[in-house]
Structure formats: structure tokens, C-alpha cells
Amino acid sequence: MAAPHLLTPTRGRAAQAAMLADGRRLHLQDGPIDLIIEATGDPRAVRHAYAAAAQRFAGLLDALCAELPALRKPAGRDALPLAHPVAQRMADAVAPFADEVFITPMAAVAGAVADEILKALVCPGITRAYVNNGGDIAVHLAQDASFTVGLIDRPDQPRLIGRAEIDASSPVRGVATSGWHGRSFSLGIADAVTILAPTAAMADAAATVVANAVDLPGHRGIVREAANELQPDSDLGTLQVTRHVPRLGPAERDAALVAGVTVARALLSRGLICAAALHLQGETASVGDTAAFLSFEPQQEQPDA
């Protein structure tokens, strides 16, 4: 689900590109879009990759803002045509869900931006690269490269509960997390849903859909409010988004997680995702080949992202 101000440009802004203090990672920022990028491989290839990523990033926010009216429209047969490659990628990512749930291309904006910058980043000589857009991550792995992603229990007060391991032979190239505590609006009550998928845009869209499905409709203790009361131009309009979830009993937690797992399994069977981890008030459920991708035991070693 798109963050309320994710594509709102800041007056007088200029896109920023700078190496971080570690000398390895590139920081790109323009208005609300904030990317952390790392590429490894031949040093000359890395320099070329960073220059290409910065060039691709320049003007991207303005281009997406120009198509914002269409991007806020529900996906489906009546969707408006889109011109920019990132806008098209957003629409493609949400299209598989359009017949079943309310969703707009904005649900995939962070992942689609990460995919686009990664595409510019990858060139001969780069063995591993990632673009982290606020927790939605696009990954490139070649040869024997691997990537570790930390799994958190909730975005606003992150605590590491496990990790996802991705290697070059894996189909996973995108990771995204969604939940009602995050910077985005959610229709569900999941603290965090992390999706592993073939692209970051698909992971982003699927995380939104699964997080929305983790729910207890009609529960009197769950506080909801119309999205457009919180953010007048929200793409969710009058849909009720979650603002507070009380402490739930074990049976309630299980029921909400089962609802989300059912949706995640359906997405897995369609080949849209590779794995999912769903977290709600201390309980975690997983979908997919957990032995290949997911570990929930405490790890001493720090994740890559």
C-alpha cells in the first residue's frame, strides 16, 4: 500500500546523490524517495553502475507525479494508460490482483522504483547489487553471490525475528514488508508481512494484499478510519484503514493469521510469490519453502539489509 505522501514532491528540492561514510553504499534521495544502494564487483564496474543509477534516478519523481491521477485509479479493465516504465511496472505488478481485491498501482510504487534503479545499476562486472527503498528491496545476484534480509516483527519498532537467505540460483529478486504499523495505510491488522517474489514490485503489491487479508472483520476493539479522512488525496478513498489493534487472544491471532496464510498460499500456487512470513502480536506463520528461504531462529550475524 502506498505511503500517504510517497509521491508528493517537496518545493525547492533537488535530487541528492552521495556516497555514505562507509565508502561502499550510494544514497539517492529526492523528496519522499530515499534509496540505499550497494553494488559489488569490479571497481570500475561499480563506479559506472553508481553513475548510471544516479542518472536514472534524476527526474524520476517528477515523471511519476505527472501520472499520479492514473496511478491512483483502481487497477482493472478501466485503468488509464500509463507512459513511464516505472508507472507501467506498477500497473503490471497489481494487475493479477485486480479482479479479487481493491488495489491501485500505488501499492507497488516503492518496489517498482527499486526495480527500475536496479535495472540501471546492473552491468557487466557487477556480481551483487541491491536497491533498498524504505525496506522494499530489489536484488541482483550473479555467480555464487548471496543476500541476507532481516525479518522484523513490526516496521515502526523493528526487532529482528529471523532472516531470509537468497542465493543466485533462487528465483527471488524482490523483498517487501507491509503492515498496519508501517508508513503505508493497511486494511488489515498484521504487524508485518514480508514477501519474497521474483521482483520488488510484485513483492510490494503482494505484501499489501496479504497484509490486508490478515484481519478480523467486525472486531469491536479494532479502530479504523476512512483513508481520505487521514489523507485527503489517498488512493484508498473512503476505505477503512487500521489505526489501532487491541491485544488479541490466541484464537483471534490464529484466525487472523489463517486468513492471511490462505491468501498467501493462493499467490504461491499462482507463481506470484516465492515465500511469505506473517507476524501478528508475537505469532509468526510462514508460507512457501521455508527451508530454502526463511529462518526464524535468532541469528548473531548481521543481515545485509
3-state secondary structure of 180: coil
Q: Is the pLDDT of residue 29 over 50?
A: yes
> For the residues 1-6, what does the mean pLDDT come to?
48
pLDDT score for 149: 92
Q: Residues 129-151: pLDDT tens digits?
A: 999 999 999 999 998 999 999 88
Q: Is the pLDDT of residue 61 over 90?
A: yes
Q: Distance between CA 127 and CA 255 in Å, rounded?
A: 43
Q: Are 75 and 96 in contact (CB under 8 A)?
A: no
Is the pTM higher than 0.75? The answer reads yes
E strand or H helix at 30, and its extent? strand 25-30
pLDDT score for 305: 65
Q: Are 280 and 257 in contact (CB under 8 A)?
A: yes
- The torsion defined by the Cα of 258, 285, 269 and 197, in degrees rounded to 10, comes to 130
Going from the N-terminus, what domains does the chain have, and what CATH number goes with each? 16-292 (3.10.520.10)
Amino acid at 8: T
pLDDT score for 152: 84
Residue whose C-alpha cell reads 483513508 in the numeric block: 227
Give residues with Cβ within 8 angstroms of 120, minimum separation 6.
Answer: 49, 52, 53, 55, 56, 57
Helix axes 43-57, 109-121, angle to 10 degrees: 140
Confidence of residue 6 (pLDDT cuts 50, 70, 90): low
Give me the DSSP letters along 35-98. Answer: EEEEEEE-HHHHHHHHHHHHHHHTTHHHHHHHTHHHHTSPSSTTPPP--SHHHHHHHHHHGGGT
**Phi (first) and psi of residue 150, to 5 degrees:** -75, 140
pLDDT score for 156: 77
Higher pLDDT pick, 65 / 298: 65
E strand or H helix at 283, and its extent? strand 283-288
Cell matching residue 211:
497484509
Q: Distance between CA 176 and CA 137 in Å, rounded?
A: 6
Q: Residues 229-253: pLDDT tens digits?
A: 999 999 999 999 999 999 999 999 9
Q: What percentage of residues in the chain have a pLDDT greater than 70?
A: 92
Q: Residues 200-238: pLDDT tens digits?
A: 999 999 999 999 999 999 999 999 999 999 999 999 999
Cell matching residue 103:
488495489
Q: Residues 147-162: pLDDT tens digits?
A: 999 888 887 777 888 8
Q: How far is CA 36 from CA 27, 117, 267, in A?
A: 5, 11, 29
Q: Residues 73-122: pLDDT tens digits?
A: 999 877 788 999 999 999 999 999 999 999 999 999 999 999 999 999 99
Going along 87-159, which residue ranges are E strands?
Answer: 126-133, 136-141, 146-152
Q: Residues 154-183: pLDDT tens digits?
A: 877 778 888 899 999 999 999 999 999 988
Q: Residues 264-294: pLDDT tens digits?
A: 999 999 999 999 999 999 999 999 987 678 8
**Phi (first) and psi of residue 101, to 5 degrees:** -140, 160
3-state secondary structure of 106: helix
